[in-house]
Structure 1
Amino acid sequence: MAFLDRLLGQDTLDEHPHKSLGAFGTLALWLGANVVVTTILTGMLLVPDLTFSTAMSTVLIGSLIGAVPLLLVGLMGQRTGLPSMALTRRAYGPTGSRLISLVNMGVLIAWSWIQALLAGMSLDYAIEATTGYSNLPLMTILCESVVVLIVLRGHLGIERVERWAALAMVGLAAVVLYQLNSHYDMTALFDMPVESHNGITLGIAFDIVIATSFSWISSSADYNRNCKSGAIAVWGTYVGYVLAAMIAMGLGAAVSGISVMNGMEQTYDPTRLLSGFGFGLPAALVIFFSVMTTNVMAVYSATLSCMNVAPGMTFWKPALVIGVVTVFGALIPGILDQFQNFLLIIGALFIPAFSVMIVDYYLVGRDGYRAELVKAPHQLGRPTAPVAVGAYLIGAALAAYWSLVAPLSFGASLPVFVITGGLYWLGAILFTRPRHVAGVIGE
């Protein structure tokens, strides 16, 4: 047991005594996390349904806006030393926090399914190109097994891996852009006509970009609680995320546009797209590592969510179980075809959940956001916890309706964020005595 204690991560929901993330580490963490094949795939969805310039403008504006809640939650983690799901206990109360944690765990596991399959596809392509042997299910299982081994080491192991991943991903983008420019006229992308391929409108595109940023909100405090200062947590996250979104989605949009212009099939497998440009094997290997590092973060955060549902669990036990679940889920037939809908579902589930939490911390009051949220959550839940749960359910219903049933031309993300936060803020005023509200605001 002593050997296992040294080998495995001992991460808990409590504040870590030593802050391990500096400015470069934080920037690299979020850069490596988001310069990944799924973000490239998001960029592919935008072109040629939108012009290349419109797509890139949407990515920039959407990322600048969408990253703000991401860094706000991350700053909460840095200030308190607590992970995201433990922080939900204050606004939602213990029961509501478990509900949010279960939703978060389910979404992260589904996210990991997609990541594991994409990693398996890349590894399978690389091995087939060199040996002629192909076995996608086996490669997917091998990839997810490596993910579980990394997660079992805890956050310190993940931070070290992400630094190298960030450098590799920036190098990948530079080499691929060089290859594209060597074989094709990149300037033709700006004159490419609009052509409907994926049913993407400007509003849906904006929503997808926002949803991509929101997909990381539930994990931001899990990692930024280890930042050495609040400024590092804010600027490292903001610059790293926005830069990563521009690189990855821009690369995806460029590859998609060029493939369509040259009569190639627009595929969801970026490795095979890149192979058409003479860069298949190296891309397969680097994409494999990029997906693996992102998947590691998803499984780690899902583990912390599970620990918030069932406090007292040893870290490695839920990590191992969740890892096994993600292996089998990745083998579900046709799961990658639902990627676009999955992004919209993420927005529906995450946007209202963290809108409430951000309003609670930054507007209602920071009192109670301390280590006792983990040790004595029943004493620290707000009396407005039912209002928080109700605001979340209304927000989630509106997000699902406006995204999947009757899409808004300008997207559902921002309206849902504002409406959900406004409902909770109004409820906090109505159900809390005025003098108490005034007191916590002044803190």
Structure 2
Amino acid sequence: MLKNLSQHFGQDGLAATDASHRSLGFGGTTALWLGANVVVTTILTGMLLVPDLPFLQAMLIVLCGSAIGILPLVLVGLMGQRTGLTTMVLARGSYGVHGAKLPSLVNLLTLLAWSWIQALLAGMSLNYAVEHVTGYSNLPLFTILCETLVLLIALRGHLGIERVERWAAIGMLLLAGAVFYVMADKFEFSQLLSMPVEPRNEITPGIAFDIVIATAFSWIPLAADYNRNCRTQGDAAVGTWLGYVVATLLAMGLGATVSGFSVLGGMEQTYDPAVLLAGFGFGLPAAIVVFLSVMTTNVMCVYSASLSYLNMRPQTKFWKPALVIGVLSVAGSQIPGILDNFQSFLLIIGSLFIPAFAVLIADFFLIQRGQYAVDDLLSEDGGSYRYLGGFNPAAFAAYGLGAVLAYYWGWVSPLAWGASLPVFLITATSYTVLRRWVLVPRVRLA
């Protein structure tokens, strides 16, 4: 029976997307990345910034951090658009056909952790909405229902996700606009702008910038998975940048605003925006915003985590890892205190992903001059990307250096304005030097 059902699932896989089957134009790409990032976890990030920082300073950091931090994601998305390949298949070009399995595993585990957080938050928002209307509360049940819906959408493949994201993006913009409107009617924004700084989360400007950058970097592994379906390079680049930056300003701005007003109103800060907004009289619309945003983002996490698994086990049918990941997401969402470590989780993502994708970007644009031999990347033995037994030692040496620097500058001796950009630039530069002048053969382009 399950085998018969699987015929109705999306048939997405690792093969390059044909140009005639590209489904995303400029509007679709913008909506995809806007819908993906108007999400409760981004709202939570905005909540961390105020009142530790002045509101205007926090928003300036969000603007600069997202505008700069999204650029590597745009570049990886362009790699996907040019080749038609997923992110982790592209990683074979820089890490080797076997070496790419390591970042695939790290990405799978990280997206699974993201999915745990998203499943719980979706369940919390739906539980709040139902309780508000009916008085009935059952968080585990609503978490399971939310993740089941996520799984059903993800199993439809990228076309199903793109349709959902368009409508969700419109709905979230309308609802978020309504929240801002009511908030502006009930409160004086001048109070928010002049409220005193109060250290609550140990957030400095440098840490804030690093967190905003890390938020952008957390999306990099998904970039090519979706942008390989963009029709043109311009759609991929401009649509991704615009959608992400607008979404980040909106979501983190909402989080910072709600956090500031909650402090001014003497309320206790919470990780559930719907609860905070309920104190201002519109918890139900906020719960709907949270629900829509988490659902759309979690669908993308489950989908890309499944593609990461396929890069390690290419013969597997797409629906099988998607089903298992959906079940694991429900189980993980029940881990006690999972939201308490959200800030640390963001910084860990930066430590893992920033050097990893600095290598990938440097290899494609600086070493390979923007070209990969697609057939070799998809071949079982890696073709010209086999390197030394399927591993590229230059990539792992540069990544190791970047990871050590990210840990040291992020945790042991933090830099004043964060470790993200220095780590990215040093890793990319060291890889370029190692790849050109150390014992690694040049790739033969087809």
Quickly name the TM-score band, shorter chain normalised. over 0.9
Q: Assess if the C-alpha contact under 8 Å between 1:82 and 1:371 holds in 2.
A: no
Q: Which structure 2 residues correspond to residues 231-270 of structure 1 after superposition, within 5 A?
A: 231-270=234-273
Give the SS at the match of 2:372: coil
Alignment correspondent of 1:403? 410
Q: Distance in 1 between the 2:33 and 2:237 partners?
A: 11
Give the SS at the match of 2:200: coil
Alignment correspondent of 1:128? 131
Cα distance change on mapping 1:121 and 1:5 into 2, 3 Å: closer
Cα distance change on mapping 1:195 and 1:425 into 2, 3 Å: same
Alignment correspondent of 1:7? 8
Deviation string, structure 1 residues 248-290 (Cα, Å, up to 9, x no partner): 1011111111111111111111010111111111211231111
Give the SS at the match of 1:95: coil
Alignment correspondent of 1:419? 426
Partner of residue 185 from structure 1, selected from 178, 188, 210: 188
Q: Distance in 1 between the 2:277 and 2:371 partners?
A: 52
Structure 1: where are the runs of 5+ without partners? Answer: none
Q: Assess if the C-alpha contact under 8 Å between 1:14 and 1:371 holds in 2.
A: no
Deviation string, structure 1 residues 270-321 (Cα, Å, up to 9, x no partner): 0101111111112112311110000000110000000001111100001001
Q: Assess if the C-alpha contact under 8 Å between 2:50 and 2:259 holds in 1.
A: yes
Letter in 2 for 1:216: W
Alignment correspondent of 2:77? 74
> How far did 1:190 drift?
1.3
Q: Distance in 2 between the 1:300 and 1:114 partners?
A: 16
Mapped pair 1:331 → 2:338: no
> How far did 1:403 drift?
1.8
Partner of residue 312 from structure 2, selected from 297, 309, 313: 309
Alignment correspondent of 1:205? 208
Alignment correspondent of 1:227? 230
> How far did 1:95 drift?
2.0
Structure 2: where are the runs of 5+ without partners? Answer: none
Identity %: 61
> How far did 1:401 drift?
2.6
Indicate the RMSD between aligned Cα atoms, in angstroms: 1.7
Cα distance change on mapping 1:175 and 1:433 into 2, 3 Å: closer
Partner of residue 321 from structure 1, selected from 320, 324, 327: 324
Letter in 1 for 2:255: G
Q: Assess if the C-alpha contact under 8 Å between 1:179 and 1:277 holds in 2.
A: no
Alignment correspondent of 1:102? 105
> How far did 1:146 drift?
1.0
Deviation string, structure 1 residues 183-226 (Cα, Å, up to 9, x no partner): 10012211111110110000000000000000100000000000
Mapped pair 1:87 → 2:87: no
> How far did 1:4 drift?
3.0
Q: Distance in 1 between the 2:179 and 2:138 partners?
A: 27
Give the SS at the match of 2:96: helix
Q: Distance in 2 between the 1:145 and 1:294 partners?
A: 14
Q: Distance in 1 between the 2:379 and 2:168 partners?
A: 35
What stretches of structure 1 move > 4 A for 4+ residues in a row?
none
TM-score by length of 2: 0.95
Mapped pair 1:195 → 2:198: yes
Q: Distance in 2 between the 1:361 and 1:198 partners?
A: 39
> How far did 1:26 drift?
0.2
Q: Assess if the C-alpha contact under 8 Å between 2:394 and 2:440 holds in 1.
A: no
Alignment correspondent of 1:381? 385
Letter in 2 for 1:370: V
Alignment correspondent of 2:55? 52
> How far did 1:135 drift?
1.4
Alignment correspondent of 2:146? 143
Q: Assess if the C-alpha contact under 8 Å between 1:91 and 1:382 holds in 2.
A: no
Name whichever of 2-11 and 115-124 sits farther off. Answer: 2-11
Deviation string, structure 1 residues 138-177 (Cα, Å, up to 9, x no partner): 1111111111111111110000000011111111221111
Q: Assess if the C-alpha contact under 8 Å between 1:15 and 1:371 holds in 2.
A: no
Q: Distance in 2 between the 1:99 and 1:322 partners?
A: 18
Q: Distance in 1 between the 2:216 and 2:357 partners?
A: 12
Q: Distance in 1 between the 2:198 and 2:373 partners?
A: 50
Mapped pair 1:291 → 2:294: yes
Partner of residue 38 from structure 1, selected from 33, 36, 41: 41
TM-score by length of 1: 0.96
Q: Distance in 2 between the 1:349 and 1:377 partners?
A: 27
Q: Assess if the C-alpha contact under 8 Å between 1:27 and 1:237 holds in 2.
A: yes
Give the SS at the match of 1:164: helix
Q: Distance in 2 between the 1:230 and 1:168 partners?
A: 27
Letter in 2 for 1:66: G
Q: Distance in 1 between the 2:237 and 2:361 partners?
A: 15
Q: Assess if the C-alpha contact under 8 Å between 1:93 and 1:381 holds in 2.
A: yes
Q: Assess if the C-alpha contact under 8 Å between 1:108 and 1:298 holds in 2.
A: yes
Give the SS at the match of 2:196: coil
> How far did 1:369 drift?
4.0
Q: Assess if the C-alpha contact under 8 Å between 2:116 and 2:329 holds in 1.
A: yes
Q: Distance in 2 between the 1:33 and 1:13 partners?
A: 22
Aligned residues: 439
